[in-house]
Amino acid sequence: MQEVFQAWETERKYYRAHLSQDLFGDWIVERTWGSKISRRAGEKPDYCFSYQDGICKLSNIGKRRMRHQYKAE
């Protein structure tokens, strides 16, 4: 199974999600977001039950970003 990286942005903001395995073999979605104008940013790890669960979470994140007027990179 492979790592997956997705990114979205607006004129002023960015949002990225990365699905990968940690050192223990667990799947994790690492989300990062922030402003292109200021230094405000954040990140949050989200542990998944399986690779397929991680893909599902990435899909849900993408749908939410599109509803908020983000465009895929």
**pLDDT tens for residues 18-62?**
999 999 999 999 999 999 999 999 999 999 999 999 999 999 999
Q: Is 11 left (phi over 0), alpha (psi -120 to 50) or beta?
A: alpha
**Two tokens, residue 14:** 């960015």
Q: Where exactly are the structural domains of the chain? A: 4-72
What is the fold, at CATH topology level, of the domain defined by 4-72? Nuclear Transport Factor 2; Chain: A, (3.10.450)
* CA-to-CA dists, residue 50 to 21, 26, 37, 65, 67, angstroms: 10, 8, 36, 23, 26
pLDDT at 16: 98
Non-local CB neighbours of 24 within 8 Å, separated by 6+ positions: none
